[in-house]
Amino acid sequence: MHSEKRYTKLVLEDGSVFQGYAFGYNKAVNGEVVFNTGMVGYPESLTDPSYRGQILVLTYPLIGNYGIPDYEKEDNLLKYFESEKIQVQGLIITDYSENYSHWNAKKSLSDWMKEYKIPGMYGIDTRELTKKLRKKGSLLGKILYDNEKIHFEDPNKRNLVAEVSIDKPVVYKKGKKSILLIDCGTKNNIIRAFLKRNFTVIRVPWNYDFLDNKVDGIIISNGPGDPKNCHETIENVKKSMSKNIPILGICLGSQILALAGGAKTYKLKFGHRSHNQPCIEVGTNRCYITSQNHGYAVDADTLPEDWREWFYNNNDETNEGIKHFSKPFFGTQFHPEASPGPDDTEFLFDLFIRSMK
């Protein structure tokens, strides 16, 4: 049973209103309303920096039933989360489970959200809301409790990457070979993936001038918002291409790599956010099930002649990966590191490592 129900509402920029009940922290917020169709993985999703500025709608009907794990660390990274805090603006679900049960659970989802002052809302028809977002595209919205006076705000007009990136370099010491990770809002599991492969990871801010760093490879991480706002990152990547150091772009990183290479990007109608996106490798009949979280994409038709499309989405045929013809530059729109979701494409990290001399 839910005790002391408090009413709240979601107001969308098209004028529609969804009434529901509050959980988590009671605070009016605004943001871009987006949906995720994944069935599990809410601790990982809520801490994914790519959700910065967004009010997240989870379509799976029951959320909170396995609680939240403890803040255990490994290699100086939180073991069960993708960043140091909750990144979403707010959370909207169909039904919230106050009672949780899991061997690793230490607290409830609601209590965790209160720690970070994140509002939640349950008791609405998320199917109806998702159908609206699919038809009209991602909409600006606000969660209100007492008719607070806050404006609609498009977070994509801000440099969201600057908000979630680190302030100064951090080194995760492991093996003799090193990877330079441009932190545009990186998920922890990208770092874990290379530590596991015995690579030292040098994590630098999004606008860090890394051209004098001697490393074996460069990764441009995932992150939130419009890639065109990352002017310094694009310029630094463009300059580094002349050195022929292997580069791997993941999600937003793939878009930045494309922009540095001379292609264009655009905003998708409602984006891809789930753990079951089918991606086909160009020139094959092989389809991979992938984890995704992005609202922008590379326009494959604008790729220069020395680049080619590597993967495409089997649902809407949008670009899911790019590859240079002769140089070791790769980009994947999906997340090989998963967390949450299937890790079927983690082999791409090994392919990237093999490209290093």
Catalytic residue numbers? 251, 335, 337
Peptide bond into 342 cis (omega under 30): no
A 10 A CB-CB count for 243 gives 9
121: tokens are 């809302």
Distance CA 62, CA 73 (A): 28
Going by C-alpha positions, the residue among 177, 176, 245 that lies closest to residue 210 is: 245
* List of residues 6+ apart from 304 with CB closer than 8 A: 261, 262, 263
Distance CA 241, CA 279 (A): 27
